[in-house]
């Protein structure tokens, strides 16, 4: 709990997040564009891939992405053959999105590109000590926990 330091100081951390954010978005946009993807398409793929499959509903909730944007991003990824789509059994309203083999290969390729956001970030991580890395993960988890409760949380 911050004591002497006040809100004005919190701004410093906020700007520091913004600074990292700027750079990661720039690299992500470059990576996406270099691979013929828009940002929503790229984000959706990055979000689904580690889980192999995910409901479109859950995906939207996790990403805070407007459902019209999400719907179109998914549509194009399906057309590109990176994900398949099938109704959730027991609830025909929802769709389950499944990473295809092509999608998995494409994802792995994205991660391995030297000028991609993943490798660039990985190189940046090398500048951190193991301890710093762990502390960063922990602190982020604490912050994320509180942040996700803030705001209206209106359905996107």
Q: How far is the CB of 56 from DNA (least distance, A)?
A: 3
| 10 part of the interface to DNA, by CB under 7 A | no
C-beta of residue 80 within 8 angstroms of C-beta of residue 37: no
Within 30-69, the residues that bind its own copies by CB under 8 A are: 30, 46, 50, 62-64
Q: How far is the CB of 113 from DNA (least distance, A)?
A: 19
| 2 part of the interface to its own copies, by CB under 8 A | yes
Point out which span in 76-84, 90-98, 100-108, 111-119 binds its own copies (CB under 8 A): 111-119
Q: How far is residue 121 from each of residues 69, 78, 85, 145, measured CA to CA in Å?
A: 27, 28, 31, 23
105 binds, among DNA, its own copies, none (CB under 5 to 8 A by kind): none
| 71 part of the interface to DNA, by CB under 7 A | yes
Q: Report the sign of the C-alpha dihedral through residues 66, 72, 75, 76, in that order.
A: negative
Cα(63)–Cα(44) distance, integer angstroms:
8
Cα(13)–Cα(11) distance, integer angstroms:
5
Residue from 77, 95, 99, 110 touching DNA (CB under 7 A): that is: 95
Cα(55)–Cα(53) distance, integer angstroms:
7
Residue from 1, 79, 101, 155 touching its own copies (CB under 8 A): that is: 1
Beta bridge partners of 97: 54, 85
| 120 part of the interface to its own copies, by CB under 8 A | yes
Count of other CB atoms within 10 angstroms of residue 88: 13
Residue from 91, 108, 132, 135 touching DNA (CB under 7 A): that is: 91
Instruction: Give the residues lining the site for DNA (CB under 7 A).
Output: 38-40, 55-57, 60, 65-75, 85, 90-95, 156
């Amino acid at each position: 709990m911050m004591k002497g330091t006040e809100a004005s100081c919190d701004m410093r951390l906020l700007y520091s997040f913004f600074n990292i954010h700027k750079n990661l978005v720039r690299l992500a946009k470059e990576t996406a564009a270099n691979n013929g993807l828009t940002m929503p398409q790229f984000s959706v793929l990055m979000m689904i891939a580690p889980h192999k499959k995910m409901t479109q509903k859950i995906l939207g909730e996790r990403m805070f992405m407007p459902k019209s944007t999400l719907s179109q991003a998914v549509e194009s990824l399906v057309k590109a053959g990176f994900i398949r789509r099938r109704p959730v059994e027991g609830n025909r309203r929802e769709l389950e999105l499944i990473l295809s083999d092509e999608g998995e290969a494409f994802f792995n390729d994205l991660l391995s590109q030297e000028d991609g956001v993943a490798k660039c970030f990985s190189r940046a991580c090398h500048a951190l000590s193991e301890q710093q890395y762990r502390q960063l993960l922990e602190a982020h988890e604490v912050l994320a926990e509180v942040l996700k409760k803030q705001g209206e949380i209106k359905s996107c």
